[in-house]
A and B are shown apart, each in its own frame.
Chain A
């Protein structure tokens, strides 16, 4: 069985600064996929970024990037130049087969003006 752990229930950052959200996972599969989803207040969950485990290069989407450490089973999300609109609950998730995701507990990020 897969497990995904987010050890930071809440985090805060000042606008324009950089913040890193942590995620660790456990899987026995060789090939798998990792995701970060964002759930803004009262709005629908959306995909932020995804990483395929067999790709060594860390994924990047504009201000969002990941630090994927396969041996350590770590998948952190870095948000650069934080904006007020980044305030949201962030979920880390893993997938091994059949589009079925296993989610972490979530990290509530608050960006302060």
Chain B
């Protein structure tokens, strides 16, 4: 079974802190994604990566950056956390191609105070 893990289930940070969210997948998937999930807004894509060291902006990249130094690991970085970044963050991975299933991690609920 594909397994996607995220470093924390719950995280509380202060405004202005630098925050790292880590995601690891164990199925050698080419694609990895970071979404944020907010009530009434569904899932919105922040960044995605098709390969190591490659990244593409999603729909809401402002205030975020990413890093993919190894195929299995995709990190989301909040350079200076703000209260409007309080949200559920979901990581996903998939094989390359069309109509492929995305496999999701359990999510990290981040609160910025």
Given A45-B104, A52-B99, A105-B41: A99 in contact with B90 (beta carbons within 8 A) = no
Shortest C-beta distance, A54 to chain B (Å), equals 11
Q: Which of A13-71 contact B (CB under 8 A)?
A: 33, 37, 43-47, 50, 52
* B interface footprint on A90-113 (CB within 8 Å = 1, 0 otherwise): 010101011111111110000000
Work out how many contacts link A and B, with CB atoms closer than 8 A: 52
Nearest A residue to B99, CB-CB: A33
A-B contact pairs, 15 of them (CB 8 A): A43-B106, A44-B4, A45-B104, A50-B101, A93-B43, A95-B99, A99-B96, A99-B100, A100-B58, A101-B43, A103-B42, A103-B43, A104-B42, A105-B40, A105-B41
10 A-B pairs with least C-beta separation: A45-B104, A33-B99, A103-B43, A103-B42, A105-B42, A47-B101, A44-B104, A106-B42, A99-B31, A44-B106
Which residues of A line the B interface, CB within 8 A? 4, 6, 9, 33, 37, 43-47, 50, 52, 91, 93, 95, 97-106
